[in-house]
Amino acid sequence: MVNVAVIYYSSTGTIAEIAAEITRSAEQAGARVRLRRVAELAPQEAIDANPRWAEHARASAAVPLAEPDDMVWADAVIFGTPTRFGNVSSQLKQFIDTLGGLQAQGLLADKVYSGFTSTTTAHGGHESTLLALGNTFHHFGGVIVPPGYTDEANANPYGTSHHDAFGTAPVGESTRVAARAQAERVVKFAEVVKGTRVTA
């Protein structure tokens, strides 16, 4: 079996919902999975001012926080982040910035990496956010596994992405199908990289 860490930041729940779908799919594909959220950095008054944000903060409190050890444990890591000005959220970036020691020791190399995102607007940075994550994967010495157009569900070749239209468009079946396809592909390549995949 391969170990997959699904590590995400979500303010109002969209990324968390996709992360849960990816987790279920990776488990069904035969992986051991750790679902982890990164720590919130926003002040409590900002969270309380947005009912959806406050509700999700309460609902996700039981999800364990990501630790550097999750990265060492994993054979594959799938990062999830909403886009922030076409880039990675500061919360996920802060977690990534704690990994310098592991990177310097080579403990993040030779793993499979992939990412997913969500935006408020239709053209608000889906691809640029996922490409920005890719910069980190290069520095880690990782094997980047995007969904590409390998499945008819993959509308975004860089990674699963969702447009929530200012919270009016919930995660639908098309996004879930894309997430499942991405998770299965990550597990498949993690098995190859780890040398555990059995071929017929």
Q: Model confidence over 34-85: pLDDT tens digits?
A: 999 999 999 999 999 999 999 999 999 999 999 999 999 999 999 999 999 9
State the pLDDT at residue 199: 61
Work out the average pLDDT over 151-159: 90
**pTM of this prediction?**
0.96
User: How buried is 152 (Cβ within 10 angstroms: 0-12 exposed, 13-18 middle, 19+ buried)?
Assistant: exposed
* CATH number of the domain that residue 73 is part of: 3.40.50.360
State the pLDDT at residue 200: 54
Asked whether residue 94 is domain-assigned, the answer is yes
Q: Is the pLDDT of residue 143 over 60?
A: yes
Cα(168)–Cα(145) distance, integer angstroms: 30
Cα(92)–Cα(176) distance, integer angstroms: 22
Asked whether residue 197 is domain-assigned, the answer is no
Question: Could you give the number of structural domains in the chain?
Answer: 1
Give the dihedral of Cα atoms 4, 10, 12, 18; nearest 10 deg.
-30
Three-state SS at 32: strand
Asked whether residue 184 is domain-assigned, the answer is no
Q: Is the pLDDT of residue 129 over 80?
A: yes
162 token code pair: 């969702």
Work out the average pLDDT over 110-116: 98
State the pLDDT at residue 12: 93
Asked whether residue 190 is domain-assigned, the answer is no
State the pLDDT at residue 26: 98
Q: Round the average pLDDT of the chain to a whole number and report it.
A: 95
Asked whether residue 21 is domain-assigned, the answer is yes
Half-sphere exposure of residue 156: CA atoms within 13 angstroms, side-chain side: 27
State the pLDDT at residue 168: 85
Enumerate residues 6+ apart whose C-beta is below 8 A from 175. 18, 21, 160, 161, 162
Asked whether residue 185 is domain-assigned, the answer is no
Asked whether residue 46 is domain-assigned, the answer is yes
Domain range spanning residue 175? 3-179
Q: Work out the pLDDT band at 167, boundaries 50, 70, 90.
A: confident
Q: What's the distance, CA 13 to chain centroid?
A: 13
Asked whether residue 170 is domain-assigned, the answer is yes
79 token code pair: 């990062």
